[in-house]
């Protein structure tokens, strides 16, 4: 049994996220966590809300709430939505936690002691109207690269180019809209990433199984232009983790906080400490190689925009501390999911947001479509037409229809208990052999975190059962050979259990409904497929479930297309 640590990118606290955020990190991480638990491994799956920085302050101001109250409330909202989407976090923490405060200040102190922090006097934008320095995200303007008029001071959301506030054309305050800005001098701390470039380069080169997307982004940041740059880790903000050198004050840094991109990844460790405090577990055995984490496999999931911080900045923090912290073993990155001819955008309110999705359909519809269309090799696009076709064909016609036909036919001919009689023939043996091949392929794809290929294998396994049922035709066989029909139906009911076990990582609610209908809590993985197809014995009672999936009608699709085509205010 392996020990597997899984983290997904932390969602910002500023509102409810769209479906692109879900498929870019949390959902595939949950898929992997559920699969690995199903195989019997010890899993710790962590996530948290990212609560510091400009997005939190701006969102709280817009909501008319103190920022701490806003973050507390929105953490509850995001945690509830995650639960309703079936995200099986072992802990869903908060980057504002006391544990993360202590760890962030600890790392800053260690980095300073080891010579990886330098103090820099720099010129920063100051808003006279607002009476404060404006950190990068407090400044918006026109992107000099693509001309997008609402680019932020740290990154253009439209073209993803990293920016500096002084690069923006016609900059203005994101707080007041004022253009009465000037540049003043202030002091900040910088992480000397450049001093760790060679060590980071060697470490990334050792990750031969990482997705090309991950390594190409990391290498670009390491070597393009002037190479890896030192990065500011403090900001002139009120909300955040106060700048300290461990438990000591940091002269000259009074009133400043650590930059959100410094403290947010540290919350992965902080989240484990929160979990341990709540459960009585030992978090250090997951994170410190001198306390047992040397045998942990650590896997991260995130969108491509987060890759530089998790392949360079966060590892630089861990390595530069000089302490035996666990580094990521595999970083699974994703491209973008676009929406119906455009881009999902939280700031612009474009696309289907997670709460809206759950209002119109249960989570399994969304989980299946998003995972089976995950943007791995390239960007992918959500369209209502494709969503309707996939849900109707895959979920309703293939899986749902199989469950309905088997259970209803058995009830009508043999009652609501698994019938006895008959023995396997060539067709059943061939099915078992075919399923064995496909299930082993499914396992390989899941272990490799090939999400779309895993979904395709799972669908093929569902199809194999339908094809067997159609070819065997127990409804016709029953007239002349009831015992053989009984065997075919018994096999079909065992296939249902097998499908529930295999499908649980993708569609956990439907899997639980299948197992409940079968009156079966046996979730044993099918290492021996032939044996798994004989798990439920004659005489075992079952019930006919309600349809697993209702088809999406053209009228529903058209209504949703109209409802979600505009801006969400």
Residues of the chain with CATH 1.10.730.10: 391-532
156 is an annotated ligand-binding site residue: yes
CA torsion angle 323 329 335 339 (round to 10): -90
Cα–Cα nearest to 383, from 560, 241, 546: 560
383 is an annotated ligand-binding site residue: no
pLDDT 10s per residue in the chain (569 long)? 899 999 999 999 998 999 999 999 999 999 999 999 999 999 999 999 999 988 898 899 889 999 999 999 999 999 999 999 999 999 999 999 999 999 999 999 999 999 999 999 988 888 999 888 887 878 999 999 999 999 988 888 888 788 888 889 999 998 889 999 998 889 999 999 999 999 999 999 999 999 999 999 999 999 988 789 999 999 988 899 999 999 999 999 999 999 999 999 999 999 999 999 999 999 999 999 999 999 999 999 999 999 999 999 999 999 999 999 999 999 999 999 999 888 776 656 678 999 999 999 999 999 999 999 999 999 999 999 999 999 999 999 999 999 999 999 999 999 999 999 999 999 999 999 999 999 999 999 999 999 999 999 999 999 999 999 999 999 999 999 999 999 999 999 999 999 999 999 999 999 999 999 999 999 999 999 999 999 999 999 999 999 999 999 999 999 998 888 765 44
CA dist 183 → 54, 133, 152, 308, 371 (Å): 19, 9, 17, 28, 46
159 is an annotated ligand-binding site residue: yes
Q: Are strands 3-8 and 296-303 parallel, antiparallel or unpaired?
A: parallel
Cα–Cα nearest to 439, from 533, 510, 330: 533
Beta-bridge mates of residue 127: 132, 181
Q: What's the burial of 207, exposed, middle or buried (CB within 10 Å: 0-12/13-18/19+)?
A: middle
Q: Give the whole-angstrom CA distance, residue 6 versus residue 285.
A: 14
For 160, half-sphere exposure in the C-beta direction (CA atoms, 13 angstrom radius) is 11
Q: Give the whole-angstrom CA distance, residue 322 versus residue 304.
A: 28
143 is an annotated ligand-binding site residue: yes
Residues of the chain with CATH 3.40.50.620: 3-111+261-381
| Domain spanning 3-111+261-381: CATH 3.40.50.620 | yes
- pTM, 2 dp: 0.93
Q: Take residue 470 and report the two structure tokens written for it.
A: 């159609």
Residue identified by tokens 């740059």 is: 229
Q: Take residue 169 and report the two structure tokens written for it.
A: 């054309």
Cα–Cα nearest to 367, from 6, 128, 34: 34
Sign of CA dihedral 221, 10, 317, 54: positive
What is the fold of 391-532? Isoleucyl-tRNA Synthetase; Domain 1 (1.10.730)
């Amino acid at each position: 049994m392996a020990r597997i640590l899984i983290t997904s990118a932390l969602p910002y606290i500023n509102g409810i996220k769209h479906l692109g955020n879900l498929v870019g990190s949390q959902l595939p991480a949950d898929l992997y966590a559920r699969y690995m638990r199903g195989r019997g491994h010890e899993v710790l799956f962590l996530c948290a809300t990212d609560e510091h920085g400009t997005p939190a302050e701006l969102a709280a101001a817009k909501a008319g709430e103190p920022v701490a109250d806003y973050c507390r409330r929105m953490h509850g909202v995001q945690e509830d939505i995650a639960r309703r989407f079936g995200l099986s976090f072992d802990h869903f923490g908060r980057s504002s936690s006391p544990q993360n405060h202590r760890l962030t200040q600890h790392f800053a102190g260690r980095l300073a002691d080891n010579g990886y922090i330098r103090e820099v006097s720099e010129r920063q934008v100051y808003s006279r109207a607002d009476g404060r320095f404006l950190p990068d995200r407090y400044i918006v303007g026109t992107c000099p690269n693509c001309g997008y008029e609402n680019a932020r001071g740290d990154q253009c959301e439209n073209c993803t180019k990293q920016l500096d506030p002084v690069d923006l054309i016609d900059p203005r305050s994101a707080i007041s809209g004022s253009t009465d800005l000037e540049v003043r001098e202030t002091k900040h701390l910088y992480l000397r990433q450049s001093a760790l470039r060679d060590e980071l380069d060697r470490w990334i080169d050792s990750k031969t199984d990482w997705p090309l997307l991950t390594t190409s982004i990391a290498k670009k940041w390491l070597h393009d232009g002037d190479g890896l740059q030192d990065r500011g880790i403090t900001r002139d903000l009120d909300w955040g983790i106060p700048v300290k050198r461990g438990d000591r004050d940091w002269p000259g840094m009074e009133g400043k906080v650590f930059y959100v991109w410094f403290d947010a990844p540290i919350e992965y460790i902080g989240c484990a400490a929160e979990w341990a405090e709540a459960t009585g577990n030992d978090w250090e055995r997951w994170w410190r190689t001198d306390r047992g984490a040397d045998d942990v496999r650590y896997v991260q999931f995130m969108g491509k925009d987060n890759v530089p911080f998790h392949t360079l900045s966060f590892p630089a923090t861990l390595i530069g501390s000089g302490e035996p912290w666990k580094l990521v073993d595999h970083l699974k990155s994703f491209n973008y999911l676009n929406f119906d001819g455009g881009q999902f955008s939280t700031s612009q309110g474009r696309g289907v947001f997670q709460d809206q999705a759950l209002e119109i359909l249960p989570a399994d519809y969304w989980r299946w479509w998003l995972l089976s269309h995950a943007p791995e090799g390239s960007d992918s696009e959500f369209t209502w037409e494709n969503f309707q076709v996939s849900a109707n064909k895959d979920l309703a016609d293939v899986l749902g229809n199989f469950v309905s036909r088997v259970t209803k036919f058995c009830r009508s001919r043999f009652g609501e208990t698994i019938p006895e009689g008959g023995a396997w023939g060539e067709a059943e043996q061939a099915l078992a052999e075919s399923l064995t091949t496909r299930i082993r392929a499914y396992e390989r794809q899941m272990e490799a975190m090939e999400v779309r290929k895993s979904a395709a294998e799972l669908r093929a396994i569902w199809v194999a059962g339908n094809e067997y049922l159609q070819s065997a035709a127990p409804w016709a066989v029953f007239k002349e050979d009831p015992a053989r029909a009984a065997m075919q139906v018994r096999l079909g009911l065992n296939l249902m259990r097998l499908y529930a076990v295999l499908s649980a990582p993708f569609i956990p609610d439907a899997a639980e409904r299948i197992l409940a209908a079968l009156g079966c809590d046996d979730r044993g993985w099918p290492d021996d497929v032939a044996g798994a197809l004989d798990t439920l014995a004659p005489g075992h009672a079952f019930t006919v479930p309600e349809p697993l999936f209702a088809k999406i009608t053209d009228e529903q699709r058209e209504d949703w297309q109209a409802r979600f085509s505009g801006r969400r205010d």
